Amino acid sequence: MSTPLKQVAALPVAETKDGPLVLLVTTRGRGRWTIPRGWPKLGVADADLAAREAAEEAGVEGEVDARPLGAFDYTKRLHLFSWAKCTVDVYLLHARCQYLDWPEKSARKILWVSPEEAASLVADGKLAAVLRDFFRLKAA
């Protein structure tokens, strides 16, 4: 079997008086809930790229952790008859602000929700597990 392709993702989290909120975005193709992600770029640190994806896909900026909080695998549809295994490293983004306009605003929906709701809404079960594990450890 071939080596999985690599992607990087941001997990935007805003701390509120009522607890943390997670920012989800929809995929462009099928409109499924997920987190901002993209392909690595030569010369750009993975954490910085994850932050850039969050800005482009959801208009959110903040401080990104240098190390991933976790990872998950999934199968990405590339074209009508083309699929690829991917491993996604997830970086925590401490959301500081969200702009009123951003590059992919018209292509995606966004939603700020509790960690529990985020885990139940995301389409990928392995991403849901990363969310549950991270927030369970954070609460301990």
Q: How far apart are the first and last CA of the chain?
A: 38
Tokens representing 124?
């990928």
Report how far residue 95's alpha carbon sits from residue 117's, in angstroms, rounded to the nearest whole number: 18
pLDDT tens-digit series, residues 92-124: 999 999 999 999 999 999 999 999 999 999 989
Bridge partner list, 63? 94
Bridge partner list, 90? 9, 70
Residues above pLDDT 70, as percent of the chain: 95
pLDDT above 70 for 137: no
Residue of higher predicted confidence among 31 and 79: 31
The DSSP call for residue 106 is G
The answer to whether residues 46 and 39 touch, using CB atoms and an 8 Å cutoff, is no
Predicted confidence at residue 84, as pLDDT, reads 82
Report how far residue 139's alpha carbon sits from residue 80's, in angstroms, rounded to the nearest whole number: 42
The answer to whether residues 98 and 56 touch, using CB atoms and an 8 Å cutoff, is no
Q: What is the pTM of this model?
A: 0.91
Report how far residue 72's alpha carbon sits from residue 74's, in angstroms, rounded to the nearest whole number: 7
Report how far residue 51's alpha carbon sits from residue 91's, in angstroms, rounded to the nearest whole number: 8
Query: 3-class DSSP state for residue 48?
Result: helix
Predicted confidence at residue 139, as pLDDT, reads 62
